Amino acid sequence: ARFEFLNFDKDSQLLGPVGQLKDKWLTFGFNYFFEGHQTKIQLNYIIKDEEMPSGISKPENNTLLIQGAYYF
């Protein structure tokens, strides 16, 4: 698990890519290595919470990442 927090400078032009004031990301991850094989699978689910200025709707952009790897 991982938690990320970013507070953009709201007193200047340095806002987030979609105009957000703050970003909070919570990531849950899972790795599985298959015994006797040279294979693994990774899964991450990222819950994103952006604080937007008044009048701007909050984006819905949670992310699911799945990755497989094979060593040969």
The model's pLDDT over 20-30, given as tens digits with 9 standing for 90+, comes to: 778 889 999 99
Write down the pLDDT at residue 58: 80
Burial of 16 (0-12, 13-18, 19+ CB in 10 A): middle
Look at 63 and 59; give whichever has higher pLDDT: 63
**Are residues 49 and 24 in contact, defined by beta-carbon separation less than 8 angstroms?**
yes
Both tokens of residue 60?
Answer: 């819905």
Q: For the chain, how are helix, strand and coil distributed in percent, rounded to 5? A: 0, 55, 45
- Report the predicted TM-score, pTM, of the whole model to 2 decimal places: 0.71
Write down the pLDDT at residue 3: 95
pLDDT band at 32 (very low <50, low <70, confident <90, very high): very high
